[in-house]
Chains A and B, each alone.
Chain A
Amino acid sequence: MTTEIPRYFLEMTAQEVRLSGLLLQEHFGDVVEKVGTRLIRSGVLTLRALAYETKLPLDLVKKSLCVLMQHGMCLFGAGRRGPAGPVEYRIISERILHMLRYPRYIYTAKSLYGDTGELIVEEILQRGQMTMSSTVKTVADRLTHNMPEGQSMDYSEVVSAFSRLVETHFLQRCPPTASAGSSSSGAVNTPLPAVKQPTEPEEHPECYKLPYINLTGQGKRRRSSEDGEADQRAAKKAKTDDSECGDEGIYWQVNFQRFHLHFRDQAIISAVSCKLDQTSSEIVRTMLRMSEVTTPAHAAFTQALSANEIFRALPSSYNIARPILDQYLTLLVDDPMEFVGKTGDSGGGMYVVNLHRALANLARATLESVVQERFGSRSARIFRLLLRKRHLEQKQVEDFAMVPAKEAKDMLYTLLSENLVQLQEIPKTPDYAPSRTFYLYTVNQLPTARLLLQHCYKTVGNLIERRLYETKENKRLLEKSQRIEAILASLQATGAEAAQLTEVEEMITAPERQQLESLRHHINKLDSSENQVDETIFLLESYINSTQAAR
């Protein structure tokens, strides 16, 4: 793959571009992948330029852009030649990488709002944006399908789950696009804003306002017995006749930032729980819950809360005495991880959760853990030493880390070659003579975190490619097993005898079965690894964004 340097700015690194391409291909196919990757590499392009550079037919490019825009991954706006010129398109790079995290968003919605919430978020994620009424109908139908015969899911229940998701800001309205697609008879080109700045959804005042919709009824059960095909077709048909419901034109999308704040809080709470104990983590959870609405997105710490308020807000299942709470708070403040800080003495003591500090500590723990698992615990000791002491000479490293000289040298050089440790020269004389220069080893947390993040992107890319390879190698076998399963399913549906079923099952030989089993095992492992690496990606990204916002 040739890496080009875009004309204006390099927004994505090579690994990010590669991963984005793989994700686009997985979800939307080769065509969209070509278009998306081209846009990422070239920055901003017009439709014609895009078609020319991808060598794809114009219609396919149009379709791909529609898909990308539907999913909020692409923006359009007036080009460099102003409103009279052709429209230009721009990719929102981080939105593509969020596709890796879709299972986590859906699982979180399930844990917070049950199956209904889970399906709402899943539908909106898969379709990019939806109106409230079509979401409600689709989700009600899906839930009804899983219910026993005769029962069905009422729309009002789905509406209430949707409302709760909006109230807690997990869903938000799509920002209005300044499209000139109004069907007024005058052919006036309304001027489009420049494409550089995407409008923040939260700038729109009605971002979280629920529309009044006129929607009553219950989910419908599909009567077809061929569930497989019916599923496909029902999935293809998005329910679009919402003209009776009164909310046409109002589209909802998932608010990723809100989910990320939730993940960040979860990470902090589980870190406290691991480091201290369950009660401390409950106190921190209460503090975070209380300051959910008042804390801006990239704040370094929450609003100050008094101990009295915290005591009142604790969940009733935790009836600890007031002095015990004070002791716990003191413990949290004194802990070297600095999760909680004390900012005053009024109201029994004013406490804040140090969000940025907590993220930095979590990132640091991640870096240390990586070094430990890759290079051993003594290298990790040296690494931790350098993180804390900043700059050390070789001799000092050997002494402080209590590692023999030769091994310390070896480990330092290994870490140096991996770019985890840097060498800083401080000359005593202007001629940089080696005998008269200090050579100091140092670790900088932020650049090292960035480096590790790129490694993570590369890892996920490798995992995906390996999975594609494994699937491709066994394509014939997989297709055969799918055909046999389809035959079995149709036989069972028409009430076949057991003898017939076993006869069909035996069409797959025992070694083939074993091969299928080991293939399934490999693919599960690769998929699970992707999910796990994504957790690290999230932590490092949060730390890097938080640090950049703090500057």
Chain B
Amino acid sequence: MAGSRGRGRSQFTFNVDALGFGRGDSLPTSAHTPSPLFPPMQFKPVPLHTGEEVDYMLALKQELRASSKNLPFHIKAFRTKTDVARYSDKYQNGETKNNCIEWSPDWSRMPKELCIKVRKPRKTGAKPQLTKKTKVAAGKEEVLQKLETLEKREEEQHSEEEEDEGKKKQNEEEEEPDADQDYDEEDLEDETDYIMSYFDNGEDFGADSDDNMDEAVY
């Protein structure tokens, strides 16, 4: 191999034409910077389809997106208020609570361990139930929960007891109110003369800004 160094110096082992440039030409310039983020396109994209079908599906898509935010399947985490306790807390509607589910699935089709309380919207005029149906309390969780329910103004109906693993769960569901009865949030839940928005202490203003959720759907 060392002997052929002189003779085969100007020969390559492959076909030079395949490289795309000949001998003596300058090499292609090397890149100094990363390629641009949005390089100008040589071929512009084709315009989108148009037509009645396309418009209808577009409208459907946007409607679905908007309505799915209002369904109970859209789960928002309940942010615990770490501030001082306020008078208006009594009149805040305890909407998003982590330990209740806002719709009633068929528990017989789900594993037992997923059972949690079902929360029903309250009817107008019905007094909040401060006394719960007494059940046999078992375990620390039970006592803590009882204290929690007795402290705040309740909207949930106690539909089941929580148990440790291995115990049976029984599910009670109250009958749903008649469809015609409208649930008017503006009305009073308790004995006050003010509408509920009076008790809005502005804590929610700007609180959602750290979410990545778009609230306004176009």
Q: Enumerate chain A interface residues (CB-CB to B < 8 A).
A: 25-32, 47, 56-57, 59-60, 62-67, 69-71, 76, 86-87, 102-104, 106-107, 122, 126-128, 141, 174, 177, 179-183, 187, 220, 222-224, 229-241, 249, 251, 373-376, 394, 406, 409-410, 433-435, 468, 471-472, 475, 478-479, 482, 519-520, 523-525, 527-532
Contact = CB atoms under 8 A, between A and B. Distances in A.
Given A67-B75, A69-B110, A468 B212 contact: yes
A231 B183 CA distance: 11
A475 B113 contact: no
A409 B15 CA distance: 14
Nearest to B74: A29
Contacts of B107: 181
Contacts of B48: 525, 528-529, 532
Given A62-B101, A181-B107, A239-B179, 20 more contacts: A30-B211, A30-B213, A31-B75, A66-B105, A87-B111, A102-B60, A107-B56, A174-B109, A177-B109, A179-B110, A181-B110, A240-B176, A249-B106, A251-B106, A375-B43, A410-B20, A468-B212, A471-B218, A475-B214, A531-B61
Q: Which 8 A-B pairs have the closest CB atoms?
A: A434-B14, A478-B216, A471-B214, A103-B60, A181-B108, A103-B57, A59-B98, A103-B61
Interface in B192-218: 211-218
A232 B95 CA distance: 14
A27 B121 contact: no
Contact of A28 (B68, B105, B212): B68
A104 B54 CA distance: 10
B31 interface: no
A224 B45 CA distance: 49
B64 A527 contact: no
B18 interface: yes
A217 B74 CA distance: 32
B70 A236 contact: yes
B71 A374 contact: no
Contact of B68 (A27, A103, A409, A529): A27
B68 A65 contact: no
Contact of B73 (A67, A102, A373, A472): A67
- The B interface, classified by DSSP as helix, strand, loop or mixed, is loop
A59 B45 CA distance: 47
Contacts of A410: 20
Interface residues of B, number: 70
Interface string B42-54: 1101101100011
A463 B106 CA distance: 36
A434 B12 CA distance: 10
Contacts of A26: 65, 68
Contacts of A224: 182
24 contacts: A26-B65, A30-B76, A30-B212, A57-B98, A59-B99, A62-B113, A69-B109, A70-B105, A122-B64, A174-B109, A179-B108, A179-B109, A179-B112, A223-B182, A235-B70, A236-B102, A239-B179, A241-B175, A373-B45, A409-B18, A409-B20, A435-B14, A435-B15, A475-B214
B89 to A, nearest CB: 21
A479 B64 CA distance: 19
Given A179-B110, A180-B111, A482-B216, A434 B73 contact: no
B62 interface: yes
Contact of B215 (A104, A236, A479, A519): A479
Nearest to A236: B72
B173 to A, nearest CB: 8
B178 to A, nearest CB: 9
A107 B104 CA distance: 29
Contact of A47 (B20, B49, B114): B114
A394 B20 CA distance: 12
B12 to A, nearest CB: 8
Contact of A126 (B68, B168, B218): B68
Give the most central of B65, B110, B212: most A CB within 10 Å.
B110
A495 to B, nearest CB: 20
B180 interface: yes
A519 B218 contact: yes
A143 B68 CA distance: 19
Contacts of B129: none
A127 B76 CA distance: 18
Contacts of B166: 187
A365 B76 CA distance: 44
B170 interface: yes
Given A29-B74, A30-B77, A103-B61, A528 B114 contact: no
Contacts of A28: 68, 73-75
A66 B101 contact: yes
Contacts of A127: 71, 73
Give the most central of B75, B166, B180, B217: most A CB within 10 Å.
B75
Given A29-B74, A141-B179, A107 B108 contact: no
Contacts of B170: 183
Interface string B140-174: 00000000000000000000000000111011000
Contacts of B76: 29-31
Contacts of B111: 76, 87, 179-181
A232 B71 CA distance: 8
A406 B20 contact: yes
A73 to B, nearest CB: 11
Given A179-B108, A479-B215, A531-B54, A60 B13 contact: no
A477 B57 CA distance: 26
A220 B179 contact: yes
Nearest to A174: B109
A478 B218 CA distance: 8
A128 B13 CA distance: 65
A187 B121 CA distance: 32
Give the most central of B12, B101, B171: most A CB within 10 Å.
B101
B82 interface: no
B169 to A, nearest CB: 8
A519 B218 CA distance: 9
Contacts of B216: 471, 475, 478-479, 482
Give the most central of A25, A63, A230: most B CB within 10 Å.
A63
Contact of A70 (B12, B73, B175): B73
Interface string B16-52: 0010100000000000000000000011011011000
Nearest to B44: A373
A472 B108 contact: no
B4 interface: no
Interface in B97-145: 98-99, 101-114, 116, 121
